Amino acid sequence: MTLSPRLPFFVYGTLRPGQPNHDLFLRGRVRAEEPARMEGAVLYDGPGYPYVVEEVGGGGVVHGDLVTARPEEYPALLIALDLLEEYAPGDPRSLYERVARQVLRETDGTAVRAWVYVAAPAVATRLRARGAPITSGDWGRR
């Protein structure tokens, strides 16, 4: 089994501060949280949570937070977030895929490689066809 790199997480929905899953999953497990954005993506409203759909060459921006886990919490947090996001590598029923992407810190524009849960291909196709984009790119301000 190949181990995943220990990247920070880019969160943009229910895991952001003030949202319902933040305290359940992140409280006491993170070392840092800071505002960030992901370019080249569109945010879609879902049934109580959002989806990011990547748009290669697109001008969309998704606003969220860059979360750095405490080293001792990382393995358990990765498993917990994969379960929350219903992501199982190679499973076509997954709602999301966990992918490593570049995000930008809002404070200084520094690029950081982070894990992002993006809509799985079948979900992304449905959203592009008939989903409700969040034009602000910020799920908390939809």
Q: For residue 106, what are its two tokens?
A: 């809002």
- Catalytic choice (55, 72, 73, 85): 85
Q: Which of 79, 59, 61, 60 is nearest to 69 (CA)?
A: 79
- 76 burial class (0-12, 13-18, 19+ CB within 10 angstroms)? exposed
Assess whether 72 carries a catalytic annotation: no
- Catalytic machinery residues: 85
